[in-house]
Structure 1
Amino acid sequence: MKLLKFGGTSLANAEKFLCVADIIEKNIKNAKIAVVLSAPAKITNYLVETIETIIQHHQKLEDINLSENIFFELVQNIKKMQPNFCNKSINELIKKEFDKLRKMMHGIILLKQCPDNIRAILISRGEILSVFIMKNILEARKHQVTVINPVKNLISIGHYLDSTVNIPKSKKLISQINLNNTDVILMAGFIAGNEKKELVVLGRNGSDYSAAILAACLNASCCEIWTDVDGVFTCDPREVSNSYLLESLSYEEAMELSYFGAKVLHPRTIEPISQFKIPCIIKNTNNLNSLGTLICEKNNLTKNFLKGVTHLDNIAMFVISGLAMKNMLNINARIFTAISQKNINIIIITQSSSENTINFCILENCIDQVKSALTEEFRLELKENILNPIHIISKLSILSIVGSNIFLKPNIASKIFYTLGSANINVIAIAQGSSKHSISLVLNKKNILNAVKIIHDTMFSNKKIITVFLIGIGGVGKTLIKQIFEQKHFLYKKNIDIKICLIANSKKMIMSKNGINLSIWENDFKKSKEEFNLDKLISLTKKHHFLNPAIVDCTSDQLLSEQYITFFKNGFHIITSNKKANTNTFQYYQKIQKTVSKTNKKFFYETNVGAGLPIISTLKNLLNTGDSITCCKGILSGSLSFIFGKLEKGVTFSQSIKEAQELGFTEPNPLDDLSGIDVARKILIIAREMGYHKELKDIEITPLLPEHFYKYKDKNKFLSKIQELDLYFLEQTKKAKKLGKVLRFVGKIDNKGKCQVKIEKISIHDPLYKVKNGENVLAFYTKYYHPLPLVLKGYGAGNNVTASGIFSNLLHTLS
């Protein structure tokens, strides 16, 4: 015997009904079949809403026509597709049933309330009509059908709207039914009968529960729950895109997942199949090829002991505290008794080791009832200040990680806390040990989706994800995109996935929550009409809770650099080639550093100083390991390195500038390089990293050009005038050469913190002597590196090396 249960989404329309009939027919060939049906999708909700509308607004009965017409339309469409379908008798039954409902609802209008026994009858009509329709479809296909009346044969106890079936009694009654081996057995879900043979309903997920009960009563070999998803996933696929289908679960694992919010099966459904060791398969009527998820006694199909991450929202935590609590030996019993008398479930409970505090969690909609019950129970203790006033924390969620014998895995809790700590998510309470199959954490509800994503990623995927928001698509920005695209497959093999979800310039942007297609991004960008807006960027990340989000700033924009603190506070790392933030006021520089420390975000700005050279990281490593910097000096402009290198070879000053510009070494206007301000900014950043409280005005710049040249803001005018200096620089180069030296534009910080930027004549023994062709060099003279300095040397200009430096910093966000 195999039992099949079909939910409302599987019976949503005529096509779906006939698809279910096909599935039933296919299974008939191999085994005896029993089928449990829900109401068609939305019908039960419509009936509930109609009742509430009538009670609250005393409206007329027109609302019920909507439900009735759905059934008439459903039958009419089935008639068109199913030969020999007897729609006349069904239409008569539908009319008869809804006439009864109208009479009942007329009574509700008069009473201005709906008794629970009447409500149960009203809201269960959909299941009864589903069975009658399916019976006629199967009979039209020449099958014999036996309908089990759940009111007569499923004996339950409890409330009219939330009853529990007595399996032994029900099994005895069903065994007395003469069931033909060739008949298809049909039964309406959601419905049972009490000892008085009155109709009752089985509460939330009652149809699944009915299926498990009937499977137990018929000694079924298997119970298949057909729904609109492929089975059970490691996480809700709508929330976590890289969640995947589980092949199997044990009963205990399924119970934990469902208890803590996963839409698998209700715990009440799992109890009967677990008790009678009935395998249960979750399958999809929309994807008949999916194997589904098997829920069984022993989970041997998969080696991964972890099964899922789920969450339960709208939680409130009660805090009962007081110094005298340790002398109240029966306090736990009194709390549980007071709450159980209200039929309210405690989800998790924790207690301090000193026994001065007890915390427990309930659903938020029960706050008033629980508060009232506890206030009454501990009225005297609260009055005498033996207990502190009851404290309630609302807007919480419970995140649960479920797995087989998870309590035996020593590193799980540490990974969870490290992951959440890295994302600045605070854990309010933890429950571990009460169940050997789960660890549960209480978090603020506002953090839950982000927490679920990063915990799932940590526990279930070896992939390390970086979500990039790129601002600035000049030479460096475009090169960075190209490098990431070309390196994607190599990194993927190393389990690193870089997703660029935003590309923007100062005017417009393109966005994609799943990552932009980098092979066609330029075409998409040209077509985009989306204006660049920082608020949209922040709201996008809040909505989708991206993993490891990083803003990459490839601009030189002052206003954007002033938003860094806002970015950090909204959960972003920042990688920047933009020097404006670190060369702003020292007060702002300090504020950024404090924010980075407070938010636990990464701030990488290696390319501020040395393009692809690891100058900042080297400096920090020296200081962190106890070394002290005596002084440092370097050539920190790739363009000026190139220009002065060309002067040695006899190239004129103006021609060397043009060549540097053609190679992309200079800014759009070479005057920006020749002013020395760029080198001054780099020296300022190094000085601040060394601990000096400096402002940009404290950097002494000896002008490279006569003062009147700096008035030429138009680059063409500037380039035409610069020829006037060719003879001057030729003479200066010759004078240096006679001394065995070369000209270099040098930035320097001495042992007292004095910062200078100027042309110097460099001797052959100096590490700056052989620097040319766009190279950068920085020499650190330190306590450890003396008299020979630590020298960093390499190309310091060009899109490739700068983009490479940013790329390297991006990868370091994973550390």
Structure 2
Amino acid sequence: MKVLKFGGTSVANAQNISLVKNIVAHTVADKIIVVVSAFGGVTDQLLHAALLASVQNRDYKTVLKEIEDRHLATIKELISIKDQSQVLSKVKSDINTLETLLEGAYLIGEITPKLSDKIVSYGELLSSYIISEFFLQEQMDVVYKDSRELIKTGDSTGKASVHFERTNTNCATYFSEVPNKVIVMPGFIASSENGSSTTLGRGGSDYTAAIVAAAIDAEVLEIWTDVSGMFTANPKLVKQAKAIPHISYEEAMELSHFGAKVLYPPTIQPVLAKGISIHIKNTLAPEDAGTLITKNKNEKGKTVRGITHVGNMALLSLEGPGMVGIPGISKRFFEVLSQAEISVVFITQASSEHSICVGISADDVHHAVDVVNTAFEYEIERGKIKSTIAEIDLAIIALVGDNMKHHQGLSGKMFSTLGRNNVNIRAIAQGASERNISAVIIKSDVKKALNALHEEFFEENIKQLNLFVMGVGNVGAKFLEQVRQQRKFLKENLKLNIRVIGISNSRTMVFDENGIPLKDWESVLAQGQKADKVGFFETVQNLNYRNSIFVDNTASDEVASTYHSYLGNSISVVTCNKIACSSNYENYKSLKDLARTYNAPFLFETNVGAGLPIIDTLKHLIASGDKVLKIQAVLSGSLNFVFNNFNENTTFHDVVEQAKAEGYTEPDPKIDLSGIDVMRKILILARESGNKLDISDIKNKPFLPKESLDTDNNEDFFASLKTHETGFQKLYTDAQKADSKLKYVAQFEDGKASVGLQQIPKGHDFYNLEGSDNIVLFYTERYPNQPMIIKGAGAGADVTASGIFADIIRIGNF
């Protein structure tokens, strides 16, 4: 014999009920017991109608009419016209009885627990009757059996205690004698010894099925729902979650207790003792394997089997010096909560006995505070115990697995993963069996926490990086194209899954939680909402994704000023914008401190040398204990391009214009030609070498005439270059006469920095520097005479974009 239970979503409508019929028809067994829930949502409607009636609100009639219409419509879809009359008549009769019960609640202005049980029972009574009649019409060998005739309970209401001896005898006798192959029963409902309707509490239909399965020693208990088994995490929150093929009873109970909604924990109890397997299956996808729950069948080598959570939690703390060494405090605390019918789902106590902390439903928190403060009023008045403290808006997350106790470091791995993603842990609990490690966190962090832990424990070390990109001009566009081209390679070879979640330019911004399609990002962005830097940050913050990275491809000081907000919320920052790192030293240091404090990488390799690994190399030198003695460098790809192409056959104006057109200069070329850009770069290198320096400390020997420096727009700037062409030609001819080349050089030595145009003689490392290349010479204690040289393309959208991309990969490999 097999027991099949179908939940509310499985019988939500005529279409789903037809799927149920097909599943039952193809089930191989000598007898099939089908336990059904109320149509999806009907139980809630019945409770709502009862509440309205109890406060004498006539709207209960509207709710009842909705319930009636839904059932009648389902009958008309399932049952042929010639057979409808009897079924409609029976259902209408039941609805009339239900209306009488609700009318009684309305007249007396209250609803008793006993009356509530009677009202709520009609959800299952109606659905099971309609389904049995549909099966009968489909020529199935079926009979309807009222569960109240088999399952006997005590007189308590809402969650009645089952009298198993009587119930087991009833079930064994009935199912051994009934001749029909298929028996349809309502779940959730039972009856007391005197015949009054009772209910089995939340998850009662599962419980009904388990009680029957245990009573008749069923071959298997199948729980049919709307998901394909128990998952490694909630698939609605973690898209990469996978169904668990095989799991133990104990693991299933832990996962169910901590929020896995496909199974209610008490369900397992009756079948556990009998060793009857439970199979979780999907009514909407019956071909899926689902999850098989049996005794101690954890796959070899598996540690964490699932990650789950309970939302809407609160922490209740009892603490004070008067608790230390005083016997019975804990007993009194838990007795008070028990007598108030407040369920405790989480307990932790300091070894000093100074405090006890418990997790309860947030719905009970105000009542809990009142009863505990009342119970300990004497101790509170005398300062021995503090007034009870409650924290709300919390959730519990838990790792579950039978074999976790055999593996060291799981707790550390869990907590370090949460810490890296700025998920603050409010409390921790771990049993000696180590089957469950639980932590209390802020409920707004649940999605991020679940995804981060799932990535760590289940996704074959594939790390997801969520990018938010500001600026899509030359560099930004190249960067997005590089990401698009390399996504597959990175996933397969570096185990990095990169998604671009947000993009903004100066006009519009757009977000897509599933990742913006990079093939069409331009058209998607064009249809986005109005750009807003504050709104952009707030959206990134509210999405609260793990491994979030803000990518700044702009040269905006406004954007640079937002870095503090990102880093302070554990959002990494990658930027080619030099403004932040060359701002006043305190701001620079603050950003570096925030990055360390909140474990959010702040990378700016492209600030110096575009895609060249200059800053990264410098960091490794310093980290390994080396000390920088001197830095000499040509750091402006744009200036190098200009002076490599400027000669007696060209004009300085035309070469600068060409450099701007080819993307070697900033949008405002004066930033490059004035030396400001180079000053920023040598400042950053000096700071990264461990020196405290501001840009005002750098000596700048400009080669541009004052008229050019004083212009405030590009048109006037280029006009001034034409005016002073003679002076530029003189710079060139003077260098030629000295058999030298013009290079704009930055230098740092003995705590002092300078930038300026120099004549570089033959034989010097800078002399043959071509095109827009950069070069840096690091003289250190380990390289005092022959410097470490880094040389290569130091400007251009492609190489700058590749440098940004490299920083993102560095973060992925942290």
Q: Structure 2-normalised TM-score?
A: 0.94
Provide the residue aligned with 1:803 in structure 2: 801
Higher deviation after alignment, 604-613 or 645-654 = 645-654
Please state how far the C-alpha of 1:661 moved relative to its aligned partner: 4.0
Are the equivalent residues in 2 in contact too, given 1:352–1:358 (CA < 8 A)?
yes
Which residue number corresponds to residue 445 of structure 1?
443
Per the TM alignment, residue 460 of structure 1 is displaced from its structure 2 partner at its CA by 1.2
Show the counterpart of 1:40.
39
AA aligned to 1:3 is V
Q: Which runs of structure 2 are paired with 1:387-786 in the superposition (5 Å)?
A: 387-461=385-459, 462-493=461-492, 494-526=494-526, 528-647=527-646, 653-654=652-653, 656-710=655-709, 715=714, 722=721, 728-753=727-752, 755-786=753-784
Q: Secondary structure at the match of 2:127?
A: helix
Distance of aligned partners of 1:785 and 1:473 in 2 relative to their CA distance in 1, 3 Å threshold: same
Deviation at 1:765, TM superposition (A): 4.8
Q: Secondary structure at the match of 2:144?
A: strand
| Alpha-carbon offset, residue 106 of structure 1 | 2.2
Deviation at 1:415, TM superposition (A): 0.9
Quote the residue 1:114 is aligned against. 111
Q: Specify the SS of the correspondent of 1:5.
A: strand
After the TM superposition, which residues 96-115 of structure 1 pair with which residues of structure 2 at under 5 Å, given as runs?
96-115=93-112
Question: Residue type matched to 1:575 in 2?
Answer: V
State how far apart, in whole Å, the 1-side matches of 2:145 and 2:377 are.
52
709-718 or 554-563, which moves further after superposition? 709-718
Aligned to 2:274: 276
Asked if structure 1 preserves the Cα contact closer than 8 Å seen for 2:128 and 2:186, the reply is yes
Contact 1:407 1:433 in 2 (8 A): no
Give the deviation of 1:98 after TM superposition: 1.9
Matches of 1:546 and 1:60 in 2, distance apart?
Answer: 43
8 Å contact from structure 2 (residues 258, 308) kept in 1: yes
> Which stretch has the larger CA shift, 362-371 or 567-576?
362-371
Q: 1:324-381 CA distances to partner (integer Å, 9 max, x unpaired)?
A: 4343233333333333333332212222222222222222222344334434544444
> Retained in 1: the 8 A contact 2:533–2:559?
no
Question: How far does the alpha carbon of each residue in 1:596-623 deviate from its partner, in whole angstroms, 9 at most, with x for none?
Answer: 2332211111111221122223333333
SS at match of 2:177: coil
Q: Does the CA-based 8 Å contact 1:229-1:284 persist in structure 2?
A: yes
Q: Decide whether aligned partners of structure 1 residues 541 and 660 sit closer, same or farther in structure 2, where only a CA change above 3 A counts.
A: closer
Amino acid of the structure 2 residue aligned with 1:360: V
The answer to whether the aligner puts 1:210 opposite 2:208 as a matched pair is: yes
Partner amino acid, structure 2, of 1:498: I
Do the aligned partners of 1:644 and 1:772 also contact (CA within 8 Å) in 2?
Answer: no
Out of 181, 184, 199, the residue aligned to residue 183 of structure 1 is 181
Task: Return the offset for 1:50.
Answer: 0.8
Q: Within 2, Cα distance between the matches of 1:605 and 1:78?
A: 66
| Match status 1:312 vs 2:310 | yes
Tell me how far 1:180 sits from its aligned partner: 3.4
Paired with 1:113 and 1:305, the residues of 2 have a C-alpha distance of 51
Number of aligned residue pairs: 809
Deviation track 1:358-408 (CA, whole Å, cap 9, x = no partner) reads: 222222222344334434544444444443333333322111011122122
1:75 aligns with 2:72: no
Give me the whole-angstrom Cα distance separating, in 1, the residues matched to 2:746 and 2:59. 86
Say which of 139, 142, 146 aligns to 1:145. 142
Deviates more, 1:756-765 or 1:620-629: 620-629
Query: Relative to structure 1, is the Cα distance of residues 583 and 33 closer, same or farther in structure 2, using a 3 angstrom cutoff?
Result: same
More moved, 277-286 vs 432-441: 432-441
Partner of 2:168: 171
- Equivalent AA in structure 2 for residue 304 of structure 1: K
Are residues 524 and 277 of structure 1, via their aligned partners in 2, closer, same or farther at CA, if it must alter by over 3 Å?
same
Tell whether the 8 Å contact from 1:202 to 1:209 is kept in structure 2 after alignment: yes
Moved more, 272-281 or 655-664: 655-664
| Counterpart pick for 2:321 among 310, 313, 323 | 323
1:68 and 1:435, CA in 2 relative to 1: closer, same or farther beyond 3 A?
A: farther
Q: Structure 1-normalised TM-score? A: 0.94
Amino acid at match of 2:613: P
> Does structure 2 retain, via aligned residues, the 8 Å contact 1:781–1:790?
yes
- The answer for unaligned runs of 5 or more in structure 1 is none
What is residue 85 of structure 2 aligned with on the other side?
88
Question: Which residue type is aligned with residue 594 of structure 1?
Answer: D
Query: CA separation of 1:752/1:70 partners in 2, compared to 1, >3 Å: closer, same or farther?
Result: closer
CA 1:69/1:729 → structure 2, altered by over 3 Å: closer, same or farther?
A: closer
Work out the CA distance in 1 between the residues paired with 2:635 and 2:502: 31
Contact 1:247 1:301 in 2 (8 A): no
Give the distance between the partners of 1:656 and 1:70, measured in 2 at CA.
78
Unaligned runs of 5+ in 2: none
One-letter amino acid matched to 2:19? C
Partner amino acid for 2:50?
I
Greater alpha carbon shift after TM alignment, 370-379 vs 631-640? 370-379
Higher alpha-carbon deviation: 191-200 or 176-185: 176-185
Instruction: Give CA deviations for 1:35-72 in whole Å, capped at 9, x if unaligned.
Output: 11111112211111111111124426523222122222
Tell me how far apart the structure 2 counterparts of residues 611 and 533 of structure 1 sit (CA, whole Å): 28
Q: Residue 237 of structure 1: CA displacement?
A: 1.3
CA distance in 2, matches of 1:282, 1:19: 16
Work out the CA distance in 1 between the residues paired with 2:712 and 2:318: 71
CA contact (8 A) 1:58 1:112 kept: no
- Partner residue, 1:20: 20
The answer to which of 252-261 and 736-745 deviates more is: 736-745
What do residues 244-271 of structure 1 show as CA deviations (whole Å, max 9, x unaligned)? 1111211111100111112131111111
Instruction: Please show how residues 209-228 of structure 1 align to structure 2 within 5 Å.
Output: 209-228=207-226
Q: Is the 8 A contact 1:146 1:179 kept in 2?
A: no
Q: Deviations over 1:577-613 (max 9, x none)?
A: 1112223333433332333233221111111122112
SS in 1 for 2:518: coil
* Residue type at the aligned position of 1:332: S
Does the 8 A contact of 2:421 with 2:546 survive in 1? no
Partner Cα separation in structure 1 for residue 335 and residue 751 of structure 2: 73
Task: Give the root-mean-square deviation of aligned CA atoms.
Answer: 2.5
Q: In structure 1, what is the Cα distance between the partners aligned to 2:468 and 2:379?
A: 56
Q: Give the whole-Å Cα distance in 1 for the aligned partners of 2:666 and 2:397.
A: 51
- CA–CA separation in structure 2 for the residues paired with 1:383 and 1:245: 54
Deviates more, 1:515-524 or 1:301-310: 301-310
How many Å separate the matches in 2 of 1:363 and 1:439?
A: 19
CA distance in 2, matches of 1:687, 1:329: 63
2:424–2:441 CA contact under 8 A, matched in 1:
yes
AA aligned to 1:261 is: G
Give identity over the alignment, percent: 32
CA contact (8 A) 1:231 1:292 kept: yes
C-alpha contact 1:611 1:797 (8 A) present in aligned 2: yes
Alpha-carbon distance in structure 2 between the residues aligned to 1:169 and 1:197: 14
Match of 1:194 in 2: 192
Quick one: which amino acid aligns to residue 119 of structure 2? L
Which stretch shows the higher mean deviation, 624-633 or 5-14?
A: 624-633
Deviation at 1:631, TM superposition (A): 2.8
Judged with a 3 Å threshold, the aligned counterparts in structure 2 of structure 1 residues 659 and 103 are, in CA distance, closer, same or farther, namely: closer
